Chain A
Amino acid sequence: MKPKVAFFEFTSCEGCQLTVLDTLQRHPELLEVIEIVQFREAMTERSDDYQIAFIEGSCTRPSDEEKIREIRTQAQIVIAVGACAHLGGINAIRNRMPLDDVREYVYGDKKDWFETYPARPLSAVIKVDAVIPGCPIDRDEFAMAVTHLLQGRMPAIPDYPLCIECKLTENVCMFLRGQTCLGPITRAGCDAICPSCGQGCEGCRGLVPSPNLGSIKEALRERGMTEEQIDARLSLFLTYQTMQMDGVTPA
């Protein structure tokens, strides 16, 4: 029996779901091994009878929580898809600013019309069984995650830093090119795509299990970055995780 799979999104750009669609085009055999019963971006049919839920997006409103919990109740396996669901994503940049200022900045005098609260990853709301990291996710990793699920195990993602993959690809390190990179503290799995294309890593796959933030900051400082620039660099995708390391979890 093919497992029944559903896709959901919360606060996100839907880029990860687009990547799933693209993976389906590249690996049409995916449809022979799973049955998709709900996927708003791709089909009209919609069933709430599913075993595996892939959720994109972060939770940014108190009212999102109930829907997320409903999915958790129905699904046997919940997988966070992409940086928003995994890390709070770029939505969490605002968490370091007073929420009222953020509302005012975005909505102006209509700031009280809209519901919002600090952005958080799915794991802050429900138990998440596995994550497929990235902004957006990596096609091959999505296919591999499905393979692992079909084998009856949780998707295994790398627990080592990006530098490992980057060196296997034999990239000249961005630091040696006079640029900067978050590769040493970022979880591998994207094949170091940004350094391979001449860009330092921004950390979209999240932190490795034991990141040495002191040393990476020192390395960035040495390259002439100010404390403000360093904080900004570490906030694009890593706000929620770094705040958590400082012992701050938003209410």
Chain B
Amino acid sequence: MKILPKHSLKAWVERLRATHRVVAPRETYGQYIFEEIENADDLVLDYHTSVLPPKKYLLPPREDLFAFNAKTMEMSPLIEEIQPTVIMALHTCDLHAITLLDKIQGTGHTDQHYQARRRKTTLVSIECLKPCMDHAFCKSMGTLAVPEGFDVHLTDLGDRYAVDIGSEQGEQLIEGLSLFWEPVEADYDRVNQVMAGKWPNFDYRLDCDVTDLPDLLAASQDSALWDEVGDTCLACGQCTKVCPTCYCFDVLDEIDLKLEHGKRIRVWDSCLIEKFAVVAGGHNFRSSQARRLRHRFLRKGKYQFESYGLLGCVGCGRCALSCPAHITPIGLLNTLAERRRPATEEASSRS
């Protein structure tokens, strides 16, 4: 652990900007979006949540894959120059989401574009000391503490930050800088105090245990709740666009008017829009909004856990905040848990 006095934060960020693109949250209409900071004075570390998660720097909403010439039938790679990037002030939920994405994009057919960006990205996270918003349920999901594999993690101690270094890449951001002090006994005491003090600020909002989610969802496949919620869902797809763990994309070709120079691009897709599961021939194998919603929740709470050992939801609450129909994971999962209970009680009273 090191100590960074708050008055040295700007100097540190200016140093980083000499060698890196530094991105951080910026306020707009009461929300925050991650953007490159042009001046260390613009830095905001204290924010609630961002509209799009910082995954956009690893998996951009629109990304060129390759260029082609339709006349000569030649293809050329389009690897854009990737600047070394520091993402500032990630919350631990978003860090957990990146841990999951790292796993997904690094398993099987590894995603070269993701990997290239990831290698050049260093994550500076910050400890949340109070819930970012009412919709957050990170404590229930176990994402309120820093995951393994962080780079640099900050904890606000009032007039200074405690700085934990979790990787070599992180080490490089502070190496040899006299801005960072060695901690003294009182700093450790302060960290313990802050960390112990923060937990009561957060509620457990999920009524079942997080480890029970895959079973709960498996038992709820035929629940009538999917139809009920499906009736109110607008299929607007916002919940998936803002989710830090969603990674589905669609692939499109663009070509100029002379039908010669084109490029293949990919764009974030969404399993909640009507045509997502339409296959060649026109069949839609998830033909109702209820089935599409069920798919999304099973994916977050069951399938990804089965495939990667990590749940696909980190409890950030962005989907709940965005949903014009107020469909929230907490509301939905707690209702499923409540509806399962009588059946379980019945079963146990029989045995």
Contact A160 B275 (CB under 8 A): yes
Contact count A vs B, C-beta below 8 Å: 107
Known: A160-B275, A170-B52. A146 touches B234 (CB 8 A): no
Is residue B258 contacting chain A, with contact meaning CB distance below 8 A? yes
Residue of A nearest to B32 (CB): A172
Which A131-189 residues have a C-beta within 8 angstroms of B? 143-144, 146-147, 150-151, 159-161, 163-164, 167-168, 170-173, 175-177, 183-185
Contact B274 A209 (CB under 8 A): yes
Is residue A216 contacting chain B, with contact meaning CB distance below 8 A? yes
Query: Which chain B positions have C-beta within 8 A of A144?
Result: 254
Known: A161-B235, A172-B29. A215 touches B257 (CB 8 A): no
B251-267 vs A, CB cutoff 8 Å, 1 = contact: the mask equals 00011111100000001
Bin chain A's interface residue count: 35 or more
Contact A215 B322 (CB under 8 A): no
Query: Which chain B positions have C-beta within 8 A of A209?
Result: 274
In angstroms, how far is the closest chain A Cβ from the Cβ of B81? Answer: 22
Is residue B57 contacting chain A, with contact meaning CB distance below 8 A? no
Choose among B235, B267, B321 the residue that contacts A212 (Cβ–Cβ < 8 A).
Answer: B235
Query: Which chain B positions have C-beta within 8 A of A177?
Result: 29-30
In angstroms, how far is the closest chain A Cβ from the Cβ of B235? Answer: 7
Is residue B147 contacting chain A, with contact meaning CB distance below 8 A? no
Query: Which chain A positions have C-beta within 8 A of B255?
Result: 147, 151
In angstroms, how far is the closest chain B Cβ from the Cβ of A173? Answer: 6
Query: Which chain A positions have C-beta within 8 A of B257?
Result: 27, 29-30, 32-33, 143, 146-147, 150
Query: Which chain B positions have C-beta within 8 A of A183?
Result: 236
**Dominant secondary structure of chain A at its interface with chain B:** helix
Is residue A218 contacting chain B, with contact meaning CB distance below 8 A? yes
Is residue B201 contacting chain A, with contact meaning CB distance below 8 A? no
B218-245 vs A, CB cutoff 8 Å, 1 = contact: the mask equals 0000000000000111111110011000
Which B273-292 residues have a C-beta within 8 angstroms of A? 273-275, 289
In angstroms, how far is the closest chain B Cβ from the Cβ of A206? Answer: 15
**Interchain CA distance A175-B242 in the complex, whole Å:** 15
Is residue A44 contacting chain B, with contact meaning CB distance below 8 A? no
Choose among A143, A161, A171 the residue that contacts B237 (Cβ–Cβ < 8 A).
Answer: A161
Is residue B61 contacting chain A, with contact meaning CB distance below 8 A? yes
**Interchain CA distance A177-B29 in the complex, whole Å:** 7
Known: A27-B257, A147-B257. A163 touches B275 (CB 8 A): no
Query: Which chain B positions have C-beta within 8 A of A176?
Result: 29-31, 321-322
In angstroms, how far is the closest chain A Cβ from the Cβ of B58? Answer: 15
**Interchain CA distance A147-B262 in the complex, whole Å:** 11
In angstroms, how far is the closest chain B Cβ from the Cβ of A44? Answer: 25
**Interchain CA distance A113-B349 in the complex, whole Å:** 82
Contact A164 B275 (CB under 8 A): no
**Interchain CA distance A176-B322 in the complex, whole Å:** 8
**Interchain CA distance A156-B28 in the complex, whole Å:** 34
Residue of B nearest to A163 (CB): B236
> Which of A32, A143, A172, A183 has its CB near the most chain B CB atoms (within 10 A)?
A172
Choose among A147, A164, A168, A170 the residue that contacts B259 (Cβ–Cβ < 8 A).
Answer: A147
Is residue A130 contacting chain B, with contact meaning CB distance below 8 A? no
Is residue A219 contacting chain B, with contact meaning CB distance below 8 A? yes
Contact A185 B29 (CB under 8 A): no
**Interchain CA distance A210-B292 in the complex, whole Å:** 14
Choose among B31, B258, B289 the residue that contacts A29 (Cβ–Cβ < 8 A).
Answer: B258
Contact B273 A161 (CB under 8 A): yes
Known: A184-B234, A209-B274. A150 touches B241 (CB 8 A): no
Choose among A29, A172, A212, A218 the residue that contacts B51 (Cβ–Cβ < 8 A).
Answer: A172
Known: A143-B257, A167-B52. A212 touches B238 (CB 8 A): no
**Interchain CA distance A29-B256 in the complex, whole Å:** 10
Is residue B33 contacting chain A, with contact meaning CB distance below 8 A? yes
In angstroms, how far is the closest chain A Cβ from the Cβ of B140? Answer: 24
In angstroms, how far is the closest chain B Cβ from the Cβ of A49? Answer: 23
Choose among A27, A29, A147, A212 the residue that contacts B234 (Cβ–Cβ < 8 A).
Answer: A212
User: A150-B257, A172-B28 given. 4 additional CB < 8 A pairs?
Assistant: A167-B237, A176-B31, A176-B322, A184-B324
Query: What are 12 of the A-B contact pairs (CB < 8 Å)?
Result: A32-B258, A146-B257, A150-B257, A160-B274, A161-B235, A163-B241, A164-B236, A164-B273, A168-B267, A184-B238, A184-B324, A212-B232
> Across chains A and B, which 5 residue pairs bring their CB atoms closest together, nearest first?
A167-B241, A184-B236, A163-B236, A184-B234, A172-B29
Q: What residues make up the interface of B, taking CB atoms closer than 8 Å to A? A: 28-31, 33, 51-52, 56, 61-62, 231-238, 241-242, 254-259, 267-268, 270, 273-275, 289, 321-322, 324-325
